[in-house]
Chain A
């Protein structure tokens, strides 16, 4: 008998933990850790992905491990939804682990053995989150995930800003965790049974389902970076080492999406339409907010962090749409929207990991994160540049790459909204589509800025001429992710067929109508309504391009002269005359000025090398977080008055406490 998928998944988790322990045990052997342990972790990730693909089509399986609390042992369950997110984790971590093998140096602030342990424990915790089938195990895994990632973020813990970013992350992670805990408390409905199986059969009444949903939205939203809890993302991602940023942005944010889907569609039995409206509005606000802020960033990893916020917003908007359709029993449309959600989660994992890893290579080659000091790297780092181009185009949602497919599906779901019972909702959906389209169009702006300023143009600093391309491990990792972006873009029907068991499980309909779609033509409702075939499109464009190249080069001479750039005949040209990141973001900053709290650093007229800097800060930080922090400080100061530091005063407190107790107990 062949081993069950769930057993294999548990074995993979154990293998990751073992690799981590080995790294801890032999923490002095740097070569052993980077050349053996990280690649081994990568192989485990690949195995996990393969097992997950098999498990997606298999019926759910459950197992109870004799660990955990005496009356609540660890319940594990592997169904299609878990398997899909395990696939996402496995496929992405394959590349990220391999990249880490070439990335980490002995000079990191944390010992390599410790990093190896934290990294693999992080992977194992994420996998455990996805197969947990009771609230206790879920929370244990969730917290392990938060803690390990906190330690990974603060790898360079000697730098105060990084410690600050780490603490902010930890704080928001815990506020979220409290909400999730309360959500599970609501879901068990007073029965005291914290297994998910019991929650599924529990029919909550009154306001309880709504309470559970909004607690989940808040708790998982904190992890995913939904407005207004996004504040940790742009701090933590630049602070973390690049493979960790990739893992956090590509995979960890998706665990929150997994949790939200699990609670909303699996643990809660019925969904109300207005939850969908709230999630849709919140998601779109997040998407627009994220992309507008991404456009004005000057730090490449902050830019990507804001772009992640945008993508999470799109995903949550899709979830909102799914809830809306499911609540109105439009199960086919719900299936399409859910497919778009899952597809976009997978796409985002691939292209955002790719982009974060590319920034890691740039960072290693140049020691520079600020966009204004980069430029022209395509000449020195062609591998990284061309592979990052694939990621950037995918992130910009351009055909025929993968980002476009999920956006196409989501727009289809928006567009074929049949008349819903509420006319208010009917009006809302087109407006929502308009906002979504605006966010997607702006993301192209962001990606042109990202790629153009880093890789194109002339180097803005002299030391960039010594930048070296990525090593072999890093190249293989980037190629794997870029290939994923291309393949996910070219074969949408194969992917959607793979996703279909989840649709059937969560919304009770299949997104694929057999007969209309073939393996190369995607036609969700019917071919007359809408169809899309990236493969044919690519073949036609390539054919036309090749034909044009052939014709041009056959019939006309191929004489090419290299000359200095013309630039309208302007004589003195320096690399400083190119657009900086601030310059490129300027139009967006001007148009959306009320969104930002802008600080300008203007050079004085006597500056020999004037440098104009603008930082655009978040209003929410000043409106929401600073007052709360001040309030907490004030409260602490008030409480501090009690703390006198003299033993006689404390003895007086004890005396009065005793008196009070005597009075009460009597």
Chain B
């Protein structure tokens, strides 16, 4: 591990932390535009987080330590994931410690703790949210792994930076397996980030919420950390998608500070386009009943498995 590699690692983590709420703000702005509403400021998520940090925390009387520990664990897991996913450059020394399987494991760790915290208070909505979140997770997680496996089979590595290295160096060609995987990945990302059509991030309507139901009992700094963590999760998923399917612009040759300077605008442009696409999907689709979710995610899983088979059949 070189010193500059270490610096680049820290820089990318810092960029993830800073850009994540901004990405959420941008998606919300696009959603407002698309539905002909006056858009809130793009900085709104920052203000939310800041406001929440200054409030008094209200914790339920019967909450155990799991409830108070969870925001930190979830935030830590998402930061850790952000350190593995290449956003600007593929020179990530920490990625050696955790490959894509471990990355999915990290997401699962965060999910399990969220669900446990939601069950901790013993309210009806909390356990409802926990149950639904685990339900969505049990199909989304394998689908995500299958997408990553398809990429691993093409590049012969499960390490995310190595995969991106391979993909960025290849010629611009259409891989049929990647096309399947891309569709599957989009579907999984929608589900995992509590987006329409699986969940709705803006709802507090009891019957439909999944992710929000788990956050109901949280307030102040705990809520701020969880909001930040879910913004980071969206950022991580976006970066995984960009790295797998549009790796162009990422610095692949070690740490070249000048090149990094050029990679930053490319990343922001790609994220803006991705965020707009997300807002478009959300505006154009309707929320599904919860029991339609297995069909949706089952389709994603099948597409991902198909991607792997296509890859083996055609060798591409």
Contact = CB atoms under 8 A, between A and B. Distances in A.
B56 A584 contact: no
A528 B106 contact: no
Interface stretch (A302-310, A408-416, A594-602): A408-416
Contact of A533 (B75, B98, B204): B98
Interface string A544-567: 110011001000110111111111
A249 to B, nearest CB: 22
Contact of A412 (B54, B122, B158): B158
B183 to A, nearest CB: 16
A350 B77 CA distance: 25
Interface in B152-204: 152-153, 156-159, 162, 204
Contacts of A399: 98, 102, 105-106, 109
B11 interface: no
Nearest to A457: B122
A542 B77 CA distance: 9
Interface stretch (A101-109, A210-218, A232-240, A423-431): A423-431
A577 B75 contact: no
A576 B101 CA distance: 39
Interface in A410-454: 411-412, 415-416, 426-427, 430-431, 433-434, 437-438, 440-442, 444-445, 447-449, 451-453
B96 A533 contact: yes
A521 B313 CA distance: 34
B116 interface: yes
B252 interface: no
Contact of A530 (B130, B158, B290): B158
A587 B60 contact: no
Interface in B120-178: 120-128, 130-132, 134-135, 137-139, 141-142, 145-146, 149, 152-153, 156-159, 162
Interface in B55-83: 56-62, 64, 66, 72-73, 75-77, 79-80, 83
B64 A378 contact: yes
B102 A456 contact: no
B309 A521 contact: no
B141 A393 contact: no
Contacts of A591: 294
Contacts of B120: 378, 452, 456-457
A193 interface: no
B217 A565 contact: yes
B119 A579 contact: yes
Contacts of A508: none
A2 interface: no
A578 B131 contact: no
A415 B159 contact: no
Given A438-B142, A532-B102, A567 B123 contact: yes
Given A441-B142, A521-B97, A575-B122, A396 B108 contact: yes
A541 interface: yes
A552 B96 contact: no
A586 B80 CA distance: 33
Interface in A93-142: none
Contact of A415 (B66, B108, B153, B225): B153
Most B CB within 10 A of own CB, among A408, A458, A544, A578: A544
B245 interface: no
Given A438-B142, A590-B291, A568 B152 contact: no
Q: How large is the interface on A (under 10, 10 to 19, 20 to 34, 35 or more residues)?
A: 35 or more
A542 B149 CA distance: 28
B221 interface: yes
Contact of A434 (B101, B111, B146, B157): B146
Interface of B is mostly: helix
A242 to B, nearest CB: 23
A102 B112 CA distance: 32
Contact of A537 (B102, B124, B141, B149): B102
Contact of A441 (B106, B121, B137, B221): B137
Nearest to B146: A434
Contacts of B153: 415, 430
Given A456-B66, A565-B60, A565-B122, A552 B76 contact: no
A444 B216 contact: no
A594 to B, nearest CB: 14
Contact of A528 (B56, B159, B305): B159
Given A430-B308, A434-B142, A548-B225, A379 B158 contact: no
Nearest to A587: B135
B125 A529 contact: no
B6 interface: no
Nearest to B95: A531
Contacts of A527: 96
A611 B39 CA distance: 49
A588 interface: yes
Contact of B122 (A376, A408, A531, A566): A376
Nearest to B135: A587
B109 A544 contact: no
Interface in B34-50: none
5 contacts: A457-B126, A528-B162, A537-B102, A563-B60, A583-B127
Given A398-B105, A449-B134, A563-B60, 15 more contacts: A399-B105, A408-B105, A430-B153, A441-B108, A441-B139, A441-B141, A444-B111, A529-B157, A531-B97, A532-B99, A537-B106, A565-B122, A565-B217, A579-B131, A587-B290
Interface of A: 375-376, 378-379, 389, 393, 396-399, 404, 408, 411-412, 415-416, 426-427, 430-431, 433-434, 437-438, 440-442, 444-445, 447-449, 451-453, 456-458, 521, 527-533, 536-537, 540-542, 544-545, 548-549, 552, 556-557, 559-568, 570, 573, 575, 577-579, 583-584, 586-588, 590-591
